[in-house]
Amino acid sequence: MGTPTVSILTCFFNAAPFLTEAVDSVFAQTLEDWELLLIDDGSTDGSTEIAKDFAARWPAKVRYLEHPAHANRGISASQNVGLNDAAGTYVAFLDADDVWLPHKLQEQVPMLESHPGAVMLYGTTNYWYSWTGAPGDASRDVLIPAGLPPDIVVQPPGFLVRMVRQEIPVPCPSDVLVRRDRALAVGGFAEEFRRIFTDQAFYARLCVNGGVVVADRCWFKYRKHPNSAVAAITAQGRMNEARLAYLEWLMQYVDERGGPRELRRAVRLARMKIAHPRLWRLATHRVLPIVAAVASRTRSLLRWQRGSEPTDMTGPAT
């Protein structure tokens, strides 16, 4: 097999109920120039056999990878196994419980190629509840826009700043397409994040100095279910703890690289909001409005002073 255009990385851990449907959505792609790497993070259910069977039946398209001794090392370490083994110009990620729509790669590849200043592309997210077939879930599906202007390169650090401020939804890994050389150049995924915030740490590494382009199109279905990493951490009441750990990591990462002041400020405020909620409320509801009012008043005075300065219309004395 020659060098593929896209390497698809699907990391999985005990994903037997969903893995076949995810892989089938790869084989349904209208762009056929891809390779699929199935990275096993130490599964103990039937998903290992499912992945090995796909690799055995389609050896020219699918490869099975795992950690030594079939270890469980977490999502980030598993993604890095795939990144280091991938051969494609671009890398796409497909979570084992999500599915792609057929034209995802065919539409995404030329779009990213047409924006050479961008390192990553993503679009609209489809929160997919109706997969259960339950009558109550049939009408719950919803499209979540990217929240950024479409079809232009958002220059750094604009994407990260808005993501840290929680002004835009965090892109789902199953949606993004990235340049493989850039992903490798920044060191891939941060392996200290095993299950949660793995994607956001990767986006930070990739996009702190790289542009992002978004589209107003939907290319995948994000399966909502109670066993997902996000749902599990939220149910345990540990989301703020996990987010604070990520923000601490991000602050150190940006500081060490002399990152943009705007991004550092956004991270500091986001940390304050979680670590010191009372101080955050004081700052946002009392201090910041006073500062804004003083700044507005100062600008008005300066404009008034400039407008009231006398102007000599007579010219020089003769």
Q: Is 104 within a domain?
A: yes
Question: Is position 245 within any domain?
Answer: no
Query: Does 191 map to a domain?
Result: yes
Does 294 reside within a domain? Answer: no
146: Cβ contacts below 8 Å, ≥ 6 apart: 122, 123, 124, 125, 168, 169, 171, 214, 215, 216
Tokens encoding 311: 């102007």
Residue 160 CA to residue 266 CA, distance in Å, equals 9
| Better pLDDT: 285 or 127 | 127
In angstroms, the CA 253 to CA 79 distance is: 20
203-217 per-residue burial string, b: 16 or more CB within 10 A, e: under 16: bbbbbbebbbbbbeb
pLDDT of residue 311: 43
Asked if the structure places residue 299 within a domain, the reply is no
CA Rg value for the chain: 24
In a domain, 79, yes or no: yes
Would you place residue 295 in the very low, low, confident or very high pLDDT band (cuts 50, 70, 90)?
Answer: low
Classify residue 254: in a domain, yes or no: no
Q: 169-190 pLDDT, tens per residue?
A: 999 999 999 999 999 999 999 9
For the entire predicted model, the pTM comes to 0.87
The per-residue pLDDT of the chain, averaged, comes to: 91
Q: List, for residues 18-52, the tens digit of each pLDDT value.
A: 999 999 999 999 999 999 999 999 999 999 999 99
* CATH number (domain holding residue 226): 3.90.550.10
Give per-residue pLDDT as tens, 122-169: 999 999 999 999 999 999 999 999 999 999 999 999 999 999 999 999
**Confidence class for position 275, pLDDT limits 50, 70, 90:** confident
Sign of CA dihedral 232, 237, 238, 243: positive
Tens of pLDDT, residues 74-95: 999 999 999 999 999 999 999 9
43 HSE (CA, 13 A, CB side): 24
3-class state of residue 47 by DSSP: helix
Number of domains in the chain: 1
Select the more confidently predicted residue: 278 or 144: 144
193 has a pLDDT exceeding 90: yes
The residue range of the domain holding 18 is 6-236
- Asked if the bond preceding 226 is cis, omega within 30° of 0, the reply is no
Residues forming a β-bridge with 211: 118
Please indicate, yes or no, if residue 227 is contained in any of the structural domains: yes
| pLDDT reported for residue 312 | 44
Q: How confident is the model at residue 309 (pLDDT cuts 50, 70, 90)?
A: low
